[in-house]
A and B are shown apart, each in its own frame.
Chain A
Amino acid sequence: MAKYDYVPSPFMANSIVKWVDHRLPIFSLIDHELIKYPAPRNLNYLWNFGSLAGIMLVVMILSGIFLAMNYNPSTAGAFDSVERIMRDVNYGWLIRYIHMNGASMFFIVVYIHILRGLYYGSYKYPREILWWLGIVIFIAMMATAFMGYVLPWGQMSFWGATVITNLFSAFPIVGEHIVLWLWGGFSVDNPTLNRFFALHYLLPFVIAGVVLLHLWALHVHGSNNPLGIDAKGPQDKIPFHPYYTAKDAFGLAVFLIFYAYFVFFSPYSLGHPDNWIEANPLVTPAHIVPEWYFLPFYAVLRAVPDKLGGVLLMFGAIVILFLLPWLDTSRVRSARFRPVYRVFFWLFVICCLVLGYAGSQPAEGLPLILGQVATIWYFAHFLVFLPLLGWFERPLPLPASIAEPVLGGGKSGTVAASKPMEKA
């Protein structure tokens, strides 16, 4: 990975560091991958969201472990133990608000991170596996969030769990058996809650493992950048520290203010009041909605009048992302140089927001029709527009190098050969 002029940081000369590093090269790893790691010099604030997602994972794991210390995973005790956390456990309210709002923050960050990748073509050669690993993380996140939402054992927990597990009953022949197996019984009950708790505790560590693979894949070719062109030489890159550590830290501070607003001033604005009613297997709430971050997928599910069709389409909405690197036939990565794709990108964002709105409404009337139109658009975006755009779109001319537009041009076309602007 050291395809650059590596000059070790001063701390690498310390004798203790040397002693350890000779046996376990952990300091070399830190110096190579976090300090001297050459990053494109033109990364904008949208590149903060990867590190923010990593930080959110840590926040969720830490707050979750402390919640688990006071949580009782049984149908008899779960709801009361959450109440106890809120009322009796020292700072339990704070830890729970951090965790439940943290889930929303995690999804906000990850959605921006994914859209960043879509806009700047970060999924294209040679970052296809990096993209795949990101989707795997996303799927694992959704499973974790879903099972976590079941744990408080409120009405939305219970009926959310019932509806989502029943999705699998749509599959012919094996469906019923899969659902029985998921439940460990004949309905969502104590065995279901127990296993969801176990898996909710496990999956974040699986995610952490895939995150390491994601970072490994990232560091092979380095970050994409807003121009979407490859670095031509050392003048196109700057060391990760202090430039991007400082930028990430500043972005983190701004993000934490946003996060803290919800934790301290509006902890329930992203939740649903029905979850304050203890689970009752005999009464379904009048209007079941998933958490906001699942609404677009929920809208896809309901857009199809056929049970199996809806389920397949909903899973398909995620699976299609795996094929994106080949569905997008354009060689140009960044939407900055793709005038038509740029329009379609924003239409896609609007399409997702419409799906989210449709998913939040009862499945009838205008919201249902909007959901159906947006579902068609969602799939058309990937299966029709992107493949065709690569053929019909005329991209704008690409700059010769990353350094050229950043440093205000000058001798265009010869920048790669011009003198390095700094030691990188």
Chain B
Amino acid sequence: MAQPGSTTITEGEGRKHPDGTTRRDFLYLSAGAFAGTGAALTGWAFIHSMNPAADVLALASTEVNLAPIAVGQAITVTWRGKPVFVRHRTAEEIAKAKEDDKADLRDPQTDARRVQKPEWLVLVGVCTHLGCVPLGQKPTDAKGDYGGWFCPCHGSHYDTSGRIRRGPAPLNLAVPSYAFTNDTSIRIG
């Protein structure tokens, strides 16, 4: 309110509400509320402009043709700017992954819950430790002690189901949401 002593304009006693509030209090609070609401709404427009834009969201799904991927081969596709590993697993890899369901897992999950068809393993290729891309896609890559992926940044080992087995990463490689659009292609996202 007005600085005491700064003005000779006094609030007339007649205009005072019985509880001691004045018209000026009402004006002060209502003007402040309007200005505050307006500033907050405008501020939201500015903050929201930094969220993903419509064109970014429109790129949120990726189609992958599985037909050319031979057994034992793996490809990397981009989805939302991140690598997605698609591995056509061999019978041995599938068997090993199922066998390891009983192992001591840091982030327990059965292989069956991580695949839709056992021969196709689809993973977000981002290490759950600090976001590096693990090795293991190329035949010449180190695949780690468990035959899956190995993150060179801080030494996390993933198995043939992409589950974390050793190293600092806390969680399994994430499985993105995807669907088979037919027998030989999937849509990620």
Residues of A at the B interface (CB closer than 8 Å) are 7, 9-10, 35, 62-63, 66, 69-70, 84, 87-92, 94-95, 238-239, 241-242, 249, 421-424
Contacts and interface: CB of A to CB of B under 8 A. Distances in A.
Given A35-B3, A242-B2, A423-B5, A95 B53 contact: no
Interface string B3-45: 1111110000000000000000000000100000000000001
Interface of B: 1-8, 31, 45-46, 48-51, 53-56
Given A10-B4, A242-B3, A423-B5, A87 B54 contact: yes
Contact of A70 (B8, B45, B53): B53
B5 A92 contact: no
Main secondary structure of the interface of B (DSSP, over half): loop
B50 A88 contact: no
Given A69-B50, A89-B53, A242 B6 contact: yes
A241 B54 contact: no
Nearest to B1: A242
Contact of A88 (B1, B2, B8, B53): B53
B153 to A, nearest CB: 29
5 contacts: A63-B46, A70-B49, A87-B54, A242-B6, A422-B7
B64 to A, nearest CB: 25
Contacts of A242: 1-3, 6-7
A395 to B, nearest CB: 33
A35 B2 CA distance: 11
Contacts of B5: 7, 423
Contacts of B46: 62-63, 66, 91, 95
A398 B160 CA distance: 95
A95 B3 contact: no
Given A84-B53, A88-B55, A89-B53, A94 B4 contact: no
Which of A91, A92, A239: most chain B Cβ within 10 A? A91
Nearest to A65: B46
Contacts of A88: 53-56
A249 B27 CA distance: 13
Given A239-B6, A242-B2, A242-B3, 19 more contacts: A10-B3, A35-B3, A62-B46, A66-B49, A66-B50, A70-B49, A87-B54, A88-B53, A88-B54, A88-B55, A90-B48, A90-B51, A94-B45, A95-B46, A238-B6, A238-B7, A241-B6, A249-B31, A424-B6
Contacts of A241: 3, 6
A238 to B, nearest CB: 8
B53 to A, nearest CB: 4
A10 B1 CA distance: 12
Contacts of B51: 90
Contact of B3 (A9, A62, A70, A90): A9
Which of B46, B51, B55: most chain A Cβ within 10 A? B46
A66 B45 CA distance: 10
A91 B43 CA distance: 11
